[in-house]
Amino acid sequence: MTVTATSVGQSDPMPPQAAPSAWRRWLVRLVPAAAAALSGLLLYVSFPPRTLWWLALPAFAVFALLLRGRSWKAGLGLGYLFGLGFLLPLLVWTGVEVGPGPWIALAVIEAVFVALVGAGVAAVSKLAGWPVWAAALWTAGEAARARVPFSGFPWGKIAFGQADGVFLPLAALGGTPVLGFAVVLCGFGLYEIARVSLEARRTGTVRRVTAAVGALGVAVPLVAAIAARPLVSDTAEDGTATVAVVQGNVPRLGLDFNSQRRAVLDYHARETERLAAAVDAGRAERPDIVLWPENSSDIDPFTNADARAVIDRAARAIGAPVSVGAVVGKDGKLLNEQVLWDPAKGPVDTYDKRQIQPFGEYLPLRSLVGAINDEWTSMVRQDFSRGTEPGVFTMAGTGVGLVTCYEAAFDWAVRDTVTDGAQMISVPSNNATFGRSEMTHQQLAMSRVRAVEHSRTVTVPVTSGVSAIIMPDGTVSQKTGMFVADSLVQEVPLRSSRTPATRLGVFPEIALVLVAAGGLGWAAGTGVRGRARR
């Protein structure tokens, strides 16, 4: 009997190819999305108050793993999830007293910048030397985030998580843009090394150029950080000054402390007078300079005789010039002001905060915000006005640069004081609004990076802690606890030389933004040529 092909086909049919199940399709989508959010969370964990700075490297290595070779649309989505994983926990302190609405809105908006970076990284990931282009794109994203919207919000710059890290000396070389670029490049380089190693194990072939790119991505930042070490010094160049940082504390945590404005002023005056008694008794060194926090006198001492008398008495008791943080009304304007108070002459100079905080010190889109929630508009009844000039007080012959609280996050606001003659920097702050959250530790880390960036002693007087004295090499020599009355007294070095970062200013950031633009242009050109060939 002859068996035909047809009968064989009928009697022994081939099983149809199984289509992937729905859950597999969802798994393929969910795993990268979950990994993106978790790697963003890992980046958050690298930030203060933890000292796990090195976790930023595997966070960016995983980010590279997720983005390399993907479309820009996939990069946009994965970048957004990475940004949410990082920024939602990092900025949770913004909702401590006002609820989750503003906190979530802020994180959701800021994560858009990370999403755009993700799209860019995916686009350049097919280029030769892609870790360089990709790291420059991250810096470009931070540059944009520091400027828009509403004059920017640079909180969460990668540099601010590196106060305890080996890369910190790079802040003196090129400021926060170069420090952050080095960390991201190193993370991307680690991924490239791991990728080449796994490929070599699987195929038995080493792609030498790719391996070299990965190795250089790790080695160059580390070698540069070591080479920059001589830029970091706490040697006195212009002698020393004995500074006192006064933390008076507040009656209670949260926004409610504002209703106790007179008590806050009295607390700081009382702590200053207690320090003066300790000096007179020989238990403490007599300070040349006394530094009070932001909002230490929310009662205007220029129009309120009682407030003026309280500050006068404290200044005379300590016998040294005092920088007082006050809320002052002038010509119909409301100003967040530092007032230089001479023990004999009273107020002799002022500095008005220039970088004021949106939704905290002024309310953009007031009518829209009011339509959403009337309570939010009542929290900022009158907008603060901006100062126009950098603040450098001459206190006992020392140039003291003033950088009020939120301003410490902005490169230009700190650098201006140094180029204007500051031999040391003070960052008066008021963190009582944010309770015992991580905010004060994040801000302290910023000040440590600024100390190295400009090679200056930095003092951080805070109403409720953590107040600190930071050496020009970024080490914290003294600090207070939180929500206690205390004062710190120390002889600190004064310096006038300028680091490369101070001299270069914004130029390293501009250079890295141009590198990022070049990478995107190359990627776009490559894509166009590829479509033309097809």
Q: Catalytic positions, please? A: 294, 353, 405
Tell me the C-alpha distance between 4 and 92, whole Å. 74
Tell me the C-alpha distance between 118 and 123, whole Å. 9
Tell me the C-alpha distance between 222 and 217, whole Å. 9
Residues in a beta bridge with 362: 358
Tell me if 218 sits within 8 A of 242, measured CB to CB.
no
Tell me the C-alpha distance between 65 and 54, whole Å. 18
Question: Residue 249 corresponds to which amino acid?
Answer: N
Tell me the C-alpha distance between 82 and 74, whole Å. 12
DSSP 18-33: PPPPHHHHHHHHHHHH
Tell me the C-alpha distance between 356 and 362, whole Å. 7
Question: Residue 467 corresponds to which amino acid?
Answer: S
Q: Provide CB contacts within 8 A for 533, sequence distance 6+.
A: none
Q: What is the CA radius of gyration of the chain?
A: 27
Which conformational region is residue 498 in: left (phi greater than 0), alpha (psi within -120 to 50 degrees), or beta? beta
Tell me the C-alpha distance between 410 and 406, whole Å. 8
Which residue in 59, 231, 505, 438 sits closest to 446, CA to CA?
Answer: 438
Tell me the C-alpha distance between 531 and 516, whole Å. 23
Tell me the C-alpha distance between 125 and 133, whole Å. 8
Structure tokens at 374: 């009337």
Residues in a beta bridge with 315: none
In this structure, what are the phi and psi dihedrals at residue 373, rounded to the nearest 5 degrees? -155, 110
The structure tokens 């991580």 sit at 438
Sort 275 into a burial class: Cβ within 10 Å, 0-12 / 13-18 / 19+: buried
Burial annotation 335-358 (CB, 10 A radius, 16+ → b, else e): bbbbbbbbbeeebebbbbbbbbbb
Which conformational region is residue 394 in: left (phi greater than 0), alpha (psi within -120 to 50 degrees), or beta? beta
CB atoms within 10 A of CB 98: 18
Tell me if 257 sits within 8 A of 267, measured CB to CB.
no
Q: Provide CB contacts within 8 A for 77, sequence distance 6+.
A: 33, 115, 118
- Helix then strand then coil, in percent of the chain rounded to 5, is 55, 15, 30
